[in-house]
Amino acid sequence: MLELKNIKKSYKTGDFIQHALKGVNLSFRKNEFVAILGPSGSGKTTLLNIIGGLDRYDSGDLIINQKSTKNFKDREWDSYRNNCIGFIFQSYNLINHMDIMANVEMGMTLSGISAKKRRKTAKEVLNKVGLKEHMHKRPNQLSGGQMQRVAIARALANNPDIILADEPTGALDSKTSVQIMDLIKEIAKDKLVIMVTHNPDLANLYANRVIEMKDGKIIRDSNPIDEKEKEEETYQIRKTSMNFFTALHLSLNNIRTKKGRTLLTAFASSIGIIGISLILSLSNGFDEQIDVFEKNTLSALPIMISKQSMNLDEETMAKMQEEMTDTEESYPNIDYVIPSETVEEKYVHNNVLTKDYVNYIDKMPKEDIVGINYIYTMGLNVLQKIDGNVKQISTTDVTFTTYPHSLDDREGVIEERFDMLAGRMPTSKEEIILEVDSKNQVSSDLLELLGFTTKENINFKEILNSTITLVLNKDYYQNLGNYYIPKQDLDSLYENKDNLILKVVGIVRLKDDYPSMAATPGLYYSNDLQNYLINMNKESDIVKAQKIADYNVMTGEKFDLTTKEGKDLKENILGYLGDDIEPYMIQIHPKDFNSKENIINYLDEYNKDKKEEDKIAYLDQANLMSSLSSNIMDAITIVLVAFSSISLIVSCIMIGIIMYISVLERTKEIGILRSLGARKKDITRVFNAETFIIGTASGLLGILVAWLLLFPTNSILLDLTNLENVAVMNPLHSLLLIVISVCLTLIGGWLPAKIASKKDPVIALRTE
């Protein structure tokens, strides 16, 4: 039972108000075929749209089941359209990207009927309209008459009580029109059919009630209802709801019709994802590389304990950092100067490497270290015959020290970390080895020490034939009363019988699995030679004399022992001469990363409960380097990710634009869906589903492309850095990026989806 009470409706365009319905009073029987006639613009469509709940009346009331619709909510209108009304339009209004079957099923889909039941019903109604064999065709593969049959099938599918047809034959030829009218007449048997038509002949032939309209008013009703005829009846209104999968399915279908564009969109918006993914893979890989580097390689760098050590414990580092970044008290506006500590006072720790400490180091667990060396500052008096002339060569600018010895009988650092390029390991104290750098280079100072002044390449054989003449202090210095000075006659010194003739017996190079910076090219002698020299010097007269006389052997001047400088000078000279005072430096070579930890714990153990000045500071170069490099990596990563994020935002905006275009393109579809009872929410869902698909696609595509790009990236990096497989993708990052991509596209598509849902269904249906 449907009743219109004084329904008024006007449209406002600019200042002009068009009164489309000027107070319509009408009642309909539950089962009749009503034809509405009237000239164009008389308000027929408006009336139909209001009856169908597609448009809202301004005033009056529409009574459905004795119930006023004045306070109907959007939801109720949607449900009413969905299961009480079937629309048939002049222009068919089928959704072109879906096949006939899906078009017919749409209303049922919206009301959440199961797929099986939908299929069955759709087949039945398609059979009824004679299109069973066409059900998998698309609308544009059918003739006009066939399309209108599909529309009729769709209107019937949800078994509505009311069929509203707006000039259903308006676009058809007369023969087809008759067929369609026959069909409508047939389905009208148990329903209320209200049909708008231009054609009075068709109206009179088929309808059992003809209503004529003019200027928004009813001017004739051939079969009005009298009061007592009004009966009670019920229209059952079920609620509609489209689930997300339906929306997804709908959007997938739509996307399928514009694959190229979707792919391009997805690709364009995946660029940010590609960028971020690559950067994360790289930084992830570099971090891993640094880790491996640290574990296997940097641990090859010795832990250094020298007399003067930069104190690089965490406390000092923090202090240093604070000082560098602290600008609070910089550039003060004051008229006085502030005394401060020197850099040395602040950060340099003087280590007193006592005999005790050396013993402590010697007792270190052997399994943790490959070798250890104690380096003393010894005056090595080196003579070399160059071009027939004997020359004294300074050893201060070159590395000329002991090679690390192992604490037990195991093979030492040399065998484990170096390639022997020529010759062999030394077996006596007179035999020394030469370490070259990763490019086989040796400094000219070092070559001069070996007697070479040439700029040409020098064959290994020649190196292995070279010798160095070492003069002992006792022969080198002459007594001039109360002090000693070096002898002047180098030729006779060179011939001295107690001289040590050092011979290069091996040439080594750091293995290529260690970083080239860990190489320390130089000449290396054995611990035995060092001990021998220390002992010889200890026994030599000059040191004894020196100790008593307190004269500087170099200059003959007396030390001023009343001052700190004088005492330091004496100390230094004694050290230089090779007394058995303290080693200048201790280098500990850890076996691997874990043993380095153990060694450091061992060293820390010594410092426990010691006074500040008795503590021994050490320098762990590997740790310093890797913490620096991973900090830098983190900073670079953050900057790069920030840059790439801009492209993510750009793609977010782009998605918004593209979705807006899609909304414009699909306006008609929005209208159709609304006429079939889709809620605003459902429309939002359809578009959200589309952005979801694009977002997922762009995320997946981005990850895929980034993954493919890893191969060339890694091969370029291999060329540049010799590091294999630097860029490694973290699956967690990838997953996160896909989620981000989906979220961003959803954000980008949110506004267009909202706009789509707000579209007036009547206007939407009018767009072409």
Residues 628-647 that bind ligand ADP (CB under 6 A): none
151 or 686: CB nearest Mg ion: 151
CB of 16 to ligand ADP, least distance (A): 9
Q: Which of ligand ADP, Mg ion, none sits in contact with 246, Cβ below 5 to 8 A by type? A: none
CA 389 to chain centre: 67
The torsion region of residue 53 among left (phi > 0), alpha (psi -120 to 50) and beta comes to left
Site size toward ligand ADP (CB under 6 A) is 13
Binding span for ligand ADP by CB under 6 A among 41-49, 450-458, 474-482, 554-562: 41-49
CA–CA separation, 663 and 754 (whole Å)? 10
Distances in Å between the Cα of 433 and the Cα atoms of 417, 587, 687 are: 14, 18, 77
**Cβ neighbours of residue 121 closer than 8 Å, sequence gap 6 or more:** 105, 108, 113, 157
Binding flag, residue 139, ligand ADP (CB under 6 A): no
* 13 interface partner picked from Mg ion, ligand ADP, none, CB below 5 to 8 A per type: ligand ADP
CB 79, CB 238: distance < 8 Å: yes
Closer residue to ligand ADP, CB minimum distance, 118 or 209: 209
Q: Which is nearer to ligand ADP, 26 or 729 (CB)?
A: 26
Could you tell me the CA-to-CA distances from 381 to 23, 486, 490, 494, 625 in Å, in that order? 123, 10, 11, 11, 36
365 interacts with ligand ADP by CB under 6 A: no
Strands annotated E in 146-302? 162-166, 192-196, 209-214, 217-221
- Which listed option, Mg ion, ligand ADP, none, makes contact with residue 11 (CB within 5 to 8 Å by class)? ligand ADP
DSSP element (H, E) containing 675: helix 667-675
Indicate the SS3 state at residue 73: coil
Q: Which of 45, 83, 158, 595 binds Mg ion (CB under 5 A)?
A: 45
For residue 283, the minimal CB distance to ligand ADP (Å) is 58
Q: Is 45 in the site for ligand ADP (CB under 6 A)?
A: yes
* Distance, CA of 711 to chain centre: 17
- Residue from the set 28, 43, 88, 105 that interacts with ligand ADP by CB under 6 A: 43
Min. distance of Cβ 48 from ligand ADP in angstroms?
A: 8
CB of 760 vs ligand ADP, minimal distance in Å: 8
Nearer to ligand ADP, 6 or 492 (CB): 6
Instruction: Verify binding: residue 46, ligand ADP, rule CB under 6 A.
Output: yes
d(CA 509, CA 414): 9
Can you give 194-211 as a three-state secondary structure string?
EEECCCHHHHHHHCCEEE
If the CB atoms of residues 17 and 649 are measured against ligand ADP, the closer one turns out to be 17
Alpha-carbon span 157 to 138, nearest angstrom: 18
Q: CA 369 to CA 358: how far, in whole Å?
A: 15
| Closest approach of ligand ADP to the CB of residue 49, in Å | 8
- How far is residue 300's CA from residue 82's CA, in Å, rounded to a whole number? 77
Interface with ligand ADP includes 38 (CB under 6 A)?
Answer: yes
The strands making up 162-166's β-sheet, listed across from edge to edge, are 85-88, 162-166, 192-196, 32-37, 209-214, 217-221
The beta-carbon contacts of 638-645 under 8 Å, at least 24 apart in sequence, are: 640/275, 640/279, 641/276, 641/279, 641/280, 643/275, 644/272, 644/275, 644/276, 644/279, 645/272, 645/276
**165 sits near ligand ADP (criterion: CB under 6 A):** no
Min separation Cβ 266 and Mg ion, Å? 41
- Shortest distance in whole angstroms from residue 4 CB to ligand ADP: 14
Gap between the Cα atoms of 589 and 373, Å rounded:
9
- Cα 128 to Cα 157: distance, rounded to the nearest angstrom: 11
d(CA 523, CA 506): 10
Our finding on whether 11 is near ligand ADP (CB under 6 A) is: yes
- Provide the pairing of β-strand 522-525 with 400-402: parallel
Considering only residues 745-764, where is the footprint of ligand ADP by CB under 6 A?
Answer: 763
Tell me the closest approach of the beta carbon of residue 165 to ligand ADP, in angstroms.
13
DSSP secondary structure code for residue 679 in this structure: -
Question: Cβ 45 to Mg ion, closest distance in Å?
Answer: 3
Residue 103 interacts with Mg ion (CB under 5 A): yes or no: no
Interface characters, 207-246, with Mg ion (x: CB under 5 A):
----------------------------------------
CB of 252 to ligand ADP, least distance (A): 33
Residue 328 to residues 62, 325, 343: CA-CA distances in angstroms? 76, 9, 20
Sole binder of ligand ADP in the list 17, 41, 557, 653 (CB under 6 A): 41
| Cβ-contact 287, 633 below 8 angstroms | yes
Among 1, 4, 29, 44, binds ligand ADP (CB under 6 A): 44
Q: Which stretch binds Mg ion (CB under 5 A): 45-53, 66-74, 156-164, 291-299?
A: 45-53
Q: Segment 704-733, which members bind Mg ion (CB under 5 A)?
A: none
Six token digits for residue 170: 């308006």
Binding span for Mg ion by CB under 5 A among 40-48, 330-338, 410-418, 520-528:
40-48
Measured from the CB of residue 216, what is the shortest distance to ligand ADP in angstroms? 7
With CB under 6 A as the contact rule, the residue among 4, 7, 20, 50 that binds ligand ADP is 20
Closest to Mg ion by CB, 196 vs 542, is: 196
How near is the Cβ of 645 to ligand ADP at its closest, in Å? Answer: 44
As a whole number of angstroms, the distance between CA 476 and CA 484 comes to 10
Minimum CB distance to ligand ADP smaller for 213 or for 507:
213
Between residues 35 and 106, which has the closer beta carbon with respect to ligand ADP? Answer: 35
Q: Is 18 a residue that touches ligand ADP (CB under 6 A)?
A: yes
Q: Which does 748 bind (CB under 5 to 8 A by kind): ligand ADP, Mg ion, none?
A: none
Pairwise CA distance, residues 587 & 618, whole Å: 10
CB of 44 to ligand ADP, least distance (A): 4
CB of 761 to ligand ADP, least distance (A): 11
Footprint (CB under 5 A) of Mg ion, residues 738-757: none
Q: How many whole angstroms separate alpha carbon 490 and alpha carbon 475?
A: 11
Three-state helix/strand/coil letters over 378-444: CCCEEEEEECCEEEEECCCCCCEEECCECCCCCCCHHHHHEEEEEECCCCCCCEEEEEECCCCCCCH
13 binds ligand ADP (CB under 6 A): yes
The only residue of 14, 40, 323, 336 in contact with ligand ADP, by rule CB under 6 A: 40
Supply the minimum distance, in Å, between the C-beta of residue 221 and ligand ADP. 16
* Window of 40-48, 81-89, 424-432, 723-731 that interacts with ligand ADP by CB under 6 A: 40-48
Range in contact with ligand ADP (rule: CB under 6 A) among 38-46, 461-469, 473-481, 596-604: 38-46
Phi and psi, residue 30, nearest 5°: -65, -30
User: 714 contacts which partner out of Mg ion, ligand ADP, none, CB within 5 to 8 A by kind?
Assistant: none
**What is the spatial distance between Cα 648 and Cα 700, in angstroms, rounded to a whole number?**
15
CB 24 within 8 A of CB 33: no
Which residue's CB comes closest to Mg ion? Answer: 45
Question: What's the CA gap between 244 and 391, in Å, rounded?
Answer: 92
Binding span for ligand ADP by CB under 6 A among 43-51, 71-79, 520-528, 674-682: 43-51
Summarize as ranges the residues that interact with Mg ion (CB under 5 A): 45
Summarize as ranges the residues that interact with ligand ADP (CB under 6 A): 11, 13, 18, 20, 38, 40-46, 763
